[in-house]
Amino acid sequence: MSKNLFVINAELRDESGKGASRRLRHEEKVPAILYGDNKKSQSLTLDHNEIIKHLENEAFYSHILTLVAGGKKQRAIVRDIQRHAFKPKIMHMDFQRINSRNKLTISVPLHFINEETCVGFKEGGIISHQINELEVICLPSDLPEFIEVNIEALEIGDSLHISDVTLPKGVESIALSHGEDHDLPVATILHRGGAETEDDEAEDAPEASAEDAASEDDAADDSEG
């Protein structure tokens, strides 16, 4: 995908505070801030409809964006989005400047592939996604739009962990950098019926032999005597 896919037109603003932000929202604008890269923070005004359209694309959340404000282009990523409690409305956005020489930490969506041909799924199991995105660290030039997770070989009862995911070159998992205890499951193939019932366990139990039954009868006679 093109690195210049997302271009956001913004206006620089001097006003700040709740009152100014409220007025912007009534005008279908989104107050925002751009910070980072050891530069002064900038208050921005975005077009709400333009932002809503961008947010429909999954890649927007983990993509390097181009912010155009005051006749200047700046590369950035989305760091925070504040949404209205129940309306489809964006209340505020935070952007962080990107320096091509410095690594960045960001969450990248996971795309699960070969689900229809998964061994456990074809055997009647249920595919459970434990994690839908993975926090990684990499240079901006190595940032992937998404990370593929191949679950084709998983059987019922199997789990695929973070360490089993093939990461693109130059991309490292934040969780794994903290040690093996953070190697969480990414996907699991569950039994469709859940845990075994008592009836199932009874059916699986071996039948008592005639000698065992006779021994039990003798023991009962001895106790009565």
Domain residue limits at 117: 104-190
Residue 203 included in any domain:
no
Is there a single domain that holds both residue 110 and residue 69?
no
pTM to 2 decimals? 0.77
H or E element in which residue 3 lies: none
Is there a single domain that holds both residue 160 and residue 128?
yes
Q: In what order do the strands lie in the sheet with 147-150?
A: 147-150, 104-113, 133-138, 172-173
d(CA 51, CA 55): 6
Type of residue numbered 20: A
Residue 78 included in any domain:
yes
> Can you point out the beta strands (E) in the chain?
7-12, 29-36, 39-47, 65-69, 72-83, 90-97, 104-113, 126-129, 133-138, 147-150, 159-161, 172-173, 185-190
Count of structural domains, the chain: 2
d(CA 120, CA 127): 8
Distances (CA, A) of 63 to 60, 77, 144: 5, 6, 8
pLDDT digit string (tens) for 71-118? 899 999 999 999 999 988 999 999 999 999 999 999 999 999 999 999
pLDDT digit string (tens) for 118-176? 999 999 999 999 999 999 999 999 999 999 999 999 999 999 999 999 999 999 999 99
Q: What is the pLDDT of residue 206?
A: 53
pLDDT digit string (tens) for 22-75? 788 888 899 999 999 999 999 999 999 999 999 999 999 999 999 999 889 999
Q: What is the CATH number of the domain that holds 136?
A: 2.170.120.20
Strand partners, 82: 92
**By CB neighbour count within 10 A (0-12 exposed, 13-18 middle, 19+ buried), where does 84 fall?**
exposed
Is there a single domain that holds both residue 119 and residue 91?
no
Is there a single domain that holds both residue 15 and residue 91?
yes
